[in-house]
Structure 1
Amino acid sequence: MNLKKHIPNLITLGNLFCGTVATIFAVEGDYVYAGLFVVLGILFDFFDGFAARLLKVSGELGKQLDSLADMVTSGVVPGIIVYKLLIESTDSVQDCNQQSYLPFIGLLLTLGACYRLAKFNIDTRQSDSFIGLPTPAMSLFIISLPLIQEYSTIEFAQELITSNYFLIAVTLILTYLMNAELPLFSLKFKDYSFKKNIIVYSFLFASFILIYTLHFISIPFIIILYIIISLINKIIVFNGNSQNPPK
């Protein structure tokens, strides 16, 4: 029995385990531990692919298993968190509409993540980059919201996150971005050359600076920065190809 080929799949199952635990904490309203296990799951998600490339054992089973694990960690959990935040939002309390179906809008994130992951598995264009916002990026954006609400000293940010209008807008925008024809660079390294990975290294450096200075509130800005850098890179590449067409 070749144990080596099962190592990446075991790491992927670590992602699924973390996502399942995060789901339990999210349902209970413990957003700190839910966020912690989502981050751990995303780390497992990164390292399963890294291990597969390192051991040269990638296969169809690992590809499908990876998406199923992501569906929980970066699909179910963010949907539940927004559902809970919409229930707790000040606007809902002021309206006194306890029978409102509004919180279920948060589950659009779960549906959007499912559709995005299914497309990813059959889209051959996404081997070296992404088309549409990756589900882990969406999940990180969402788990940051209750943490900002709890720990940020910026009153405006706290009030914004308790608005159901803001939460619904974020849900709709992120659901769209996950499935949009939006070219985004990947954080996967084929080698560690600075010249070949200058965009990734620059993004990671800027992200560390933002996290160090802004803490939880930096996460939404990092996701926005990721999209902006990707679009700028796409424009630069497009202009370069236009000026130097293939002969």
Structure 2
Amino acid sequence: MTLKKQIPNILTLLNLLSGTIAVIFAVNNELELAAYLVFLGIFFDFFDGFAARLLNVQGELGKQLDSLADVVTSGVVPGIVMYKLLQTKNSIELFNTEIVSWKSQEVELVPFFGLLITLAAAYRLAKFNIDERQTSSFIGLPTPAAALVVLSLPLIINYSSFDFATNLIEDKWFLIGITVVLSILMNAEIPLFSLKFKDYSWKKNKVKYVFLILTVVLVIGLQFIAIPLVILLYILLSIFF
């Protein structure tokens, strides 16, 4: 087996490695470092497919390996990060079942709700592998996009000067809502465009170019707050066009 055929798989394994290290940081409450590693993993995730198409070495092994890596980087990590964000000392009462006693220790139940993102991501990736409709576009929000939203939240808290945004993110009901919405969007029957380019003409890629231009403008103007707005823009442009 030639090295050429293994280049996309090596990039996919780098995605998996980034996600695995991010899990360690997330568990240790180093959410900022976890976020940067997930961003790195998503970078590798984008270029493994690009490399496979460029080298014409696409295959079933790469497809399965890619989804397995994404389960970690775009599923397990955002689930743990959401768990950590929901895990606060000043917790709210939720259905009177938030605190339980186990072996003389109190266990907070609400943060585990964040792991719904992990389950939804795994289900979406399994569907993707057997769905022949998603060769040139997506049906449902891609797991990396959902992961970007979640991983942007601790960065917004740390770096944003917008008090409204940070206060919103620190509200448990908002986080629960984000968890539910992202889990639904990942598995919804919503057609979304892909950033794969068959050619680079304006006519055939107008929506993609508009999206990329607006993304740059938002990131320059709003920095980390732009990330969830970019994902919202992605969904809206897909629906309208």
TM range (shorter): over 0.9
Aligned residue in 1 for 2:103: none
Contact preservation (8 Å) 1:89, 1:164 = no
> Does residue 106 in structure 1 map to residue 85 in structure 2?
no
> Does residue 139 in structure 1 map to residue 144 in structure 2?
no
The list of structure 1 runs, each at least 4 consecutive aligned residues, that deviate by more than 6 angstroms after superposition, is none
TM-score, with length taken from structure 2: 0.93
Percent of pairs identical after alignment?
Answer: 60
Taking a change above 3 Å as real, the CA distance of residues 60 and 112 of structure 1, as seen in their structure-2 partners, is same
Cα distance in 1, alignment partners of residues 139 and 28 from structure 2: 34
Aligned residue in 2 for 1:245: none
Partner-residue secondary structure (3-state), 2:87: helix
Aligned residue in 2 for 1:158: 166
Structure 2 unaligned spans of 5+:
100-105
| Counterpart residue identity of residue 131, structure 2 | D
Aligned residue in 2 for 1:2: 2
Partner-residue secondary structure (3-state), 1:18: helix
List per-residue Cα deviations over 1:81-123 (Å, max 9, x = no partner): 0000000275449x99553311000000000000000000000
Cα distance in 1, alignment partners of residues 73 and 201 from structure 2: 31
Q: CA RMSD in A?
A: 1.5
Contact preservation (8 Å) 1:91, 1:162 = no
Aligned residue in 2 for 1:212: 220
Aligned residue in 2 for 1:224: 232
> Does residue 73 in structure 1 map to residue 73 in structure 2?
yes
Partner-residue secondary structure (3-state), 1:231: helix
Cα distance in 2, alignment partners of residues 89 and 57 from structure 1: 51
| Counterpart residue identity of residue 49, structure 1 | G
The one of 195, 198, 205 aligned to 1:190: 198
- Pairwise CA distance, 1:153: 1.1
Structure 1 unaligned spans of 5+:
234-247
List per-residue Cα deviations over 1:28-81 (Å, max 9, x = no partner): 111211111101100100000000000000000000000000000000000000
Partner-residue secondary structure (3-state), 2:138: strand
List per-residue Cα deviations over 1:167-206 (Å, max 9, x = no partner): 0010001000000001100011122222211111110110
Cα distance in 1, alignment partners of residues 182 and 236 from structure 2: 15
Q: Which range moves more in the overlay, 138-147 or 82-91?
A: 82-91
- Pairwise CA distance, 1:2: 1.9
Cα distance in 1, alignment partners of residues 240 and 208 from structure 2: 13
- Between Structure 1 and Structure 2, the one with more helix by share is 1
When the two structures are aligned, how many residues end up with a matched partner?
232
TM-score, with length taken from structure 1: 0.91
Cα distance in 2, alignment partners of residues 83 and 211 from structure 1: 26
| Counterpart residue identity of residue 83, structure 2 | Y
- Pairwise CA distance, 1:8: 0.5
